[in-house]
């Protein structure tokens, strides 16, 4: 197999030939067809997440086909198309796992961060954490659903039932979740970098009711806001944009420091929460309704060997939607 391997933090990934791997008990081997590039991959490469491990193969929005099955795996077949998300393994016995909050597991493994991921021609996965994807939809178009879609979905559920939803940072996750929210009959208010007219037009083209800069107030108070951008300065701005009792959800795994703000911004039962990881149930829920919503993912395709270019373009905001690597 070949992979783009992170051998040293804050260094380019290296195209590397590796011995073929074989699945252990409870595992499958998946031939990768497409792997999305997520902002979290940048945090992995930059060593911004706790306890970084190298060498590691990044990538956690994997679409591929099962090509080997380890002992004791039930319910998956050779050749079946599956998706492999960020949550790669949980312990099953800690208090969080027992309480159906496995996204907070005390001893988890994360694909592309603490176990090898999908910037490769093949990946070994814990079979319990692979989602059957069926045959509807293109591999490249489906890849961003595996993290941007799933984390966005969990964030939207946690944002509550409000009709007016603000999305701060209109990248891979927001461009999917805007379509979900609209399908649910909600109004989307998109906040981009100030002056980024192209992204604001992109948001309107996906059905946003209003699009503007993150330094602007929406035309009417929001019921909830989700922050996908990794910029802590957005937190007080989003709190100011929501109505009394409104909720602000921080969807990122990493964020710059939040500046201090007057208590009046939080007062009147506004709430501020974060979303961490996903559960398998989130995946089952989202992937079962996603085909009905006819979500269109805007993707920019790169050969796997150009993963470093894809990461650089993501960092610089040089494309709309999501980058996807194809071996």
For Zn ion, the closer CB: 150 or 239: 150
For Zn ion, the closer CB: 90 or 279: 90
Q: Coil, helix or strand for 53?
A: coil
For residue 191, the minimal CB distance to Zn ion (Å) is 20
CB atoms within 10 A of CB 100: 10
Chain centroid to Cα 150, Å, comes to: 6
Q: In 73-165, which residue ranges form alpha helices assigned H by DSSP?
A: 95-98, 139-142, 148-159
Contacts of 151 (CB under 8 A, 6+ apart): 86, 173, 251, 275, 277, 278
For residue 7, the minimal CB distance to Zn ion (Å) is 21
The interface region with Zn ion, picked from 40-48, 209-217, 223-231, 261-269 by CB under 5 A, is 40-48
Give the C-alpha separation, 89 to 108, whole Å: 5
Is 94 near Zn ion (CB under 5 A)? yes
Q: Can you tell me which of 97, 123, 208, 237 binds Zn ion, judged by CB under 5 A?
A: 97
From residue 199, alpha-carbon distances to 76, 90, 206, 244, 302 in Å are 40, 37, 11, 29, 21
The interface region with Zn ion, picked from 143-151, 230-238, 289-297, 304-312 by CB under 5 A, is 143-151
Q: Which of 30, 26, 129, 29 is nearest to 72 (CA)?
A: 26
From residue 162, alpha-carbon distances to 176, 183, 221 in Å are 18, 14, 11
User: Are 214 and 191 contacting, i.e. CB atoms less than 8 angstroms apart?
Assistant: yes
Instruction: Compute how many residues bind Zn ion; rule: CB under 5 A.
Output: 8
Q: Can you tell me which of 38, 178, 180, 251 binds Zn ion, judged by CB under 5 A?
A: 38
Token reading at 201:
């037009």
The interface region with Zn ion, picked from 32-40, 63-71, 178-186, 292-300 by CB under 5 A, is 32-40
Binding to Zn ion in span 74-93, by CB under 5 A: 90-91
Q: Can you tell me which of 29, 40, 124, 299 binds Zn ion, judged by CB under 5 A?
A: 40
Q: Coil, helix or strand for 234?
A: helix
Is 251 near Zn ion (CB under 5 A)? no
For residue 44, the minimal CB distance to Zn ion (Å) is 10
Is 250 near Zn ion (CB under 5 A)? no
Q: Can you tell me which of 147, 180, 241, 307 binds Zn ion, judged by CB under 5 A?
A: 147
For residue 179, the minimal CB distance to Zn ion (Å) is 18
Judged by the rule CB under 5 A, the positions of this chain that interact with Zn ion are 38, 40, 90-91, 94, 97, 105, 147
């Amino acid at each position: 197999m070949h992979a783009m391997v992170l051998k040293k933090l804050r260094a380019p990934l290296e195209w590397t030939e590796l011995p073929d791997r074989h699945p252990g008990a409870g595992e499958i081997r998946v031939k990768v067809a497409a792997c999305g590039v997520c902002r979290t991959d940048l945090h992995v490469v930059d060593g911004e997440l706790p306890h970084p491990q190298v060498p590691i193969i990044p990538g956690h929005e994997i679409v591929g086909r099962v090509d080997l099955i380890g002992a004791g795996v039930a319910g998956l077949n050779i050749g079946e198309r599956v998706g492999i998300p960020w949550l790669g393994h949980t312990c099953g016995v800690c208090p969080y796992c027992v309480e159906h909050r496995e996204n907070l597991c005390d001893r988890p493994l994360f694909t592309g961060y603490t176990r090898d991921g999908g910037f490769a021609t093949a990946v070994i996965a814990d079979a319990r954490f692979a989602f059957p994807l069926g045959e509807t939809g293109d591999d490249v178009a489906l890849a961003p659903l595996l993290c941007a879609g799933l984390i966005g979905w969990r964030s939207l559920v946690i944002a509550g039932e409000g009709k007016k939803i603000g999305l701060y940072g209109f990248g891979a996750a927001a461009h999917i979740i805007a379509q979900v929210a609209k399908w649910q009959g909600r109004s989307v208010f998109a906040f981009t970098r100030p002056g980024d007219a192209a992204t604001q037009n992109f948001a309107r083209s996906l059905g946003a009711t209003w699009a503007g800069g993150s330094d602007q107030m929406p035309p009417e108070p929001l019921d909830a806001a989700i922050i996908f951008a990794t910029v802590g300065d957005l937190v007080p701005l989003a709190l100011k944009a929501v109505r009394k009792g409104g909720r602000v959800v921080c969807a990122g795994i990493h964020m710059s420091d939040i500046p201090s703000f007057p208590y009046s911004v939080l007062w009147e039962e506004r709430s501020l929460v974060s979303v961490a990881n996903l559960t398998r149930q989130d995946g089952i829920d989202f992937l079962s309704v996603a085909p009905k919503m006819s979500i269109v993912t805007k993707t920019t395709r790169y050969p796997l060997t150009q993963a470093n270019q894809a990461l650089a373009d993501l960092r610089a905001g040089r494309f709309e939607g999501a980058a996807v690597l194809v071996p």
